Each structure stands twice: as structure tokens, then as C-alpha cells.
Amino acid sequence: SRPVLLDCDPGTDDAIALWLAVASPEIDLQLVTVAGGNVGLELTLPNARAVLGLADARVPVVGGADRPLIGAFRSETRVHGTDGLGGVALPEGPPAAPGLAADAIRARLRAAPPDSVTLVGIGPATNFALALATEPDLAGRVAEIVLMTGAVGEGNWTAAAEFNAAMDPEALAILLGCGRPVTLATLDLTAQALVTPARVAALRAREGGACLRACAGILAALPPSRRFAQRGAPLHDPCAVAWLVAPELFTHRPAVASVVRDGPDRGRTRIDRWGRSGAPANARLLETLDADGFFAQLGERIGALR
Ligand code: BDR
Ligand code: CA
């Protein structure tokens, strides 16, 4: 079981990613940090506490960045509802741990052996970037960084940029340049994890507790996407966690990844899959996902929670 620090902005799909992480013995979830993103930090932090509380998970939760490194905060209530959880009300969770996310991340890394910790980022990259930028030596403690971010093709925030990358491109650039391998679950991958009415019905038909019921409620509330001709909505963040739980569900290839920081395409990820730039690969691009296997495992794992 590998030590994991997870940074999130719950967020409907973040909630499901958290439950998958908590339910999976492959992951030793040591710390959850929270940033503003899908909604403001004043909601993402209580949402994270509630999601973990519902699963009875004893993981410290620490709040952090309420805005990107540069510029103002903007939110994404179109997809996540004004409460960030698609209107699914959860009981209040245990209190947050004191302190700030970047400090908590640095403290965990400092105490870890080289090449040992996996960072999973499923929101704007600000908290991890602050941690590594203030103490660059700590990147050596990191084994792998797994991010739901970016797109090879079309974006979902602007035509060019995916939401997490667009919210804090400077932070993403810090992670892509930190010298550790970055595994990318982009929109092109998560487009394969479509939440369809049939998949929601299959989850509802499963035996399970409060977490499974909340998960099905959240999935049922996701607005179907125009991009997928109303067939369903992509389930982004759990894909990043699933890579750690069941890598056999994925195919991948090395790539050179960077992020555009100026002009109208700000936040666009540039992903060179074929070594055209001649630069050494800094990323592993997740390319295909066995979606049926993914949803089956999601149901099984979350179904085993409280
Ligand atoms: C990403 O943006 C957020 O809306 C989701 O939670 C996910 O992390 C997808 O672009
Ligand atoms: Ca997210």
C-alpha cells in the first residue's frame, strides 16, 4: 500500500475520488488537502470533511489555497451546483486539522524517505505547487505525481483549456517542471469514463451503505454533457485515483507536457506524445481506460464503505 497525499476541491467527482481512495487498500491515504476550485474554499473544505466523515475515514484534512498563485478565484458552479456536491446534502464532518495545506504537505514529505510518496491532485495545482516551490529539495521524496488535469484535444473551461489547468497554470507548470514523473489523467481519458443512466442504475442496484447511496445521488445529479450528445457526463477525478488502484485498466505512453501561460489559450496543456520536441519525457499520459472495469470497481469499493 503506497503513501498518498491527496489534494482536492470537492466537487462532485472529487467526492467520489475521495471515497474510492479511502476504500482502496492499495492506497495509504495519509493527508487530504483542500483548495478552492469547483466552488470556494469556504465550501470545498466542509465538503471534504463531510465526504470523509461519511466514510468514517480517520484522515487529517487541511485547508489551503483559496485562490491561484496569480490572479483572482473563479468557480465552476455550472457542473457542481452552488454547494459543490450537486445538491446532495451530507452530515457535517469532523473538524479540519489546524494549519495550512502547503505546510502540512511539506511536513509529510520531510518525514518521508526518498522516492516514497505519491501526490494525487484533482483540483487546481496550487497547494502542491506552493509546497514544492518553497522547498524544492522535497521533490526528491516524491515517487510519482498523478494529476487529473489538462487535455490533448479540446478543453472544458475554454475551448483550449481544461478547468484545473486553467485555474492555476503557474502552479501546474511548477509540478510539470519539478523533476518527478507526472502521470496525467486528461479530459481525453476521462471522456471514456462516461456516467450514463445505465451505470447509475447499476450502482443503485448494488448493496451498500450511505457512501454508495450518496455516490449514486451525486452521479445522478451530474448534468449530461453537450459534448457527449447528452449520453452522459465524464467522471474525471476518480480516474486519477483508479490509476493507483488498478493500473491494468489503463494504457499509457511517455510524453513531454507543458502548459501555456499567456494569451487566449492560457491553461492549455501542450502534450507531445511522439517525442517531436526532442525533450526528455516528464509525463506519463494515460490514454485508454477500460470504462466497464472502472465503474464495476468503483461500485464494489464504494459499496464496501459505511
Ligand atoms: C476537473 O475540473 C473540476 O470541475 C472537476 O472536479 C475535475 O477535477 C475537470 O476538468
Ligand atoms: Ca476536482
253 near 284, Cβ under 8 Å? Answer: yes
ipTM: 0.99
Candidates 34, 89, 29; CA nearest to 58 is 29
- Ligand 1 pocket, residue 150 CB under 6 Å: no
- Extract the C-alpha cell encoding 270: 501542450
Could you give the residue ranges of the DSSP H alpha helices within the chain? 12-22, 41-54, 77-80, 101-110, 126-134, 163-167, 169-176, 187-190, 197-205, 210-221, 237-245, 291-303
pLDDT at 80: 75
Dihedral over Cα of 117, 3, 96, 306: its sign: positive
- Ligand 1 pocket, residue 188 CB under 6 Å: no
- Ligand 1 pocket, residue 13 CB under 6 Å: yes
Distance 161 CA to ligand 2 centre (A): 15
CA–CA separation, 61 vs 83, rounded Å? 19
CA–CA separation, 12 vs 38, rounded Å? 9
CB within 5 A of ion ligand 2: which residues?
9, 11, 14, 122-123, 237
Looking at 141, 180, 236, 284, which residue is catalytic? 236
pLDDT at 229: 78
Query: Is the bond leading into 11 cis (omega within 30 degrees of zero)?
Result: yes
pLDDT at 73: 93
Closest-lying ligand 1 atom to the alpha carbon of residue 10: 6
Local confidence pLDDT in tens for the 306 residues of the chain: 999 999 999 999 999 999 999 999 999 999 999 999 999 999 999 999 999 999 999 999 999 999 999 999 987 677 777 888 989 999 999 999 999 999 999 999 999 999 999 999 999 999 999 999 999 999 999 999 999 999 999 999 999 999 999 999 999 999 999 999 999 999 999 999 999 999 999 999 999 999 999 999 999 999 888 888 788 999 999 999 999 999 999 999 999 999 999 999 999 999 999 999 999 999 999 999 999 999 999 999 999 999
In the annotation, is 252 catalytic? no
- Ligand 1 pocket, residue 237 CB under 6 Å: yes
The single-letter code of the amino acid at 62 is V
- Calculate the CA 262 to chain-centre distance: 24
